[in-house]
Amino acid sequence: MMEMEQYRSEKLHEECGVFAVYDKSLEENVVADTYHALYALQHRGQESCGMAINDDGVISYHRDLGLVNDVFTRDVMMSLPQHGRMALGHCRYAKAGIPRRSEAQPLVVRHVKGSMALGFNGALLNGAALREKYELDGAIFHTGTDAEVIAYAITRHRLKTGSIEQAVSLAMDELEGAVSLVVMSPRKIIAARDRKGFHPLCLGRKGDAWLVASESCAIHSINGTFERDIKPGEIVVIDENGLRSDDSRCGGKTGLCVFEFVYFARPDSVVDGASVHKARRRAGALLALECPVQADVVIGAPDSGLDAALGFAQQSGIPYGIGFLKNKYIGRTFIQPDQKLRENTVRIKLNPIADTVRGKRVVLVDDSIVRGTTSKQVVQLLRDAGATEVHFRASSPKFLYPCYFGTDVDSRENLIAVNHSTEEIAEMIGVDSLGFLSVDSVKKIPEGCDLDFCVGCFTGEYPVDCSNCSCEKDKCDRKLSE
How far are the Cα atoms of 87, 295, 298, 301 from residue 387, in angstroms, in the given order? 51, 11, 12, 15
Distance CA 200, CA 19 (A): 12
Is 190 among the residues that bind ligand SF4 (CB under 6 A)?
no
Residue 476 catalytic?
A: no
Distance CA 352, CA 245 (A): 51
Closest distance of CB 456 from ligand SF4, Å: 3
Residue 240's nearest CA partner among 85, 17, 410 is: 85
3-state secondary structure of 404: coil
Using CB under 6 A as the binding criterion, the count of chain residues that bind ligand SF4 stands at 12
Binds ligand SF4 by CB under 6 A, chosen from 454, 464, 466, 469: 454
Binds ligand SF4 by CB under 6 A, chosen from 16, 270, 457, 464: 457
Asked if 147 and 105 count as a contact pair (C-beta separation under 8 A), the reply is yes
Q: Which is nearer to ligand SF4, 167 or 469 (CB)?
A: 469
Q: Which is nearer to ligand SF4, 52 or 409 (CB)?
A: 409
Q: Which is nearer to ligand SF4, 67 or 394 (CB)?
A: 394
Q: Which is nearer to ligand SF4, 10 or 389 (CB)?
A: 10
Distance CA 171, CA 118 (A): 13
Q: Which is nearer to ligand SF4, 68 or 192 (CB)?
A: 192
Distance CA 204, CA 216 (A): 8
Return the amino acid letter for 119. G
**Contact set for ligand SF4, span 260-299 (CB under 6 A):** none
- Which element (helix H / strand E) includes 380? helix 373-384
- Which element (helix H / strand E) includes 78? helix 74-79
Asked if 51 and 72 count as a contact pair (C-beta separation under 8 A), the reply is yes
Residue 87's nearest CA partner among 180, 203, 211 is: 211
Distance CA 181, CA 88 (A): 11
Binds ligand SF4 by CB under 6 A, chosen from 259, 312, 324, 392: 259
Closest distance of CB 341 from ligand SF4, Å: 32
Q: From the centroid of its chain, how far is CA 360?
A: 35
Exposure pattern of 447-482 as b/e (b: 16+ CB <10 Å)? Answer: eebebbbbbbbbebbbbbebeebbbebeebebeebe
3-state secondary structure of 414: helix
Closest distance of CB 458 from ligand SF4, Å: 7
Asked if 404 and 472 count as a contact pair (C-beta separation under 8 A), the reply is no
Closest distance of CB 457 from ligand SF4, Å: 3
Binds ligand SF4 by CB under 6 A, chosen from 31, 455, 464, 469: 455
Closest distance of CB 157 from ligand SF4, Å: 27
Distance CA 292, CA 430 (A): 19
Where helices occur in 62-126 by DSSP H, the ranges are 68-71, 74-79
- Contact segment (CB under 6 A) with ligand SF4 among 109-117, 354-362, 418-426, 450-458 equals 450-458
- Contact segment (CB under 6 A) with ligand SF4 among 56-64, 339-347, 363-371, 448-456 equals 448-456
**Contact set for ligand SF4, span 400-429 (CB under 6 A):** 403, 405, 407, 409
- Contact segment (CB under 6 A) with ligand SF4 among 124-132, 152-160, 238-246, 453-461 equals 453-461
**Contact set for ligand SF4, span 239-258 (CB under 6 A):** 257-258
Closest distance of CB 328 from ligand SF4, Å: 26
Catalytic residue among 16, 291, 449, 466: 16
- Catalytic center residues: 16
Q: Which residues bind ligand SF4 (CB under 6 A)?
A: 198, 257-259, 403, 405, 407, 409, 454-457
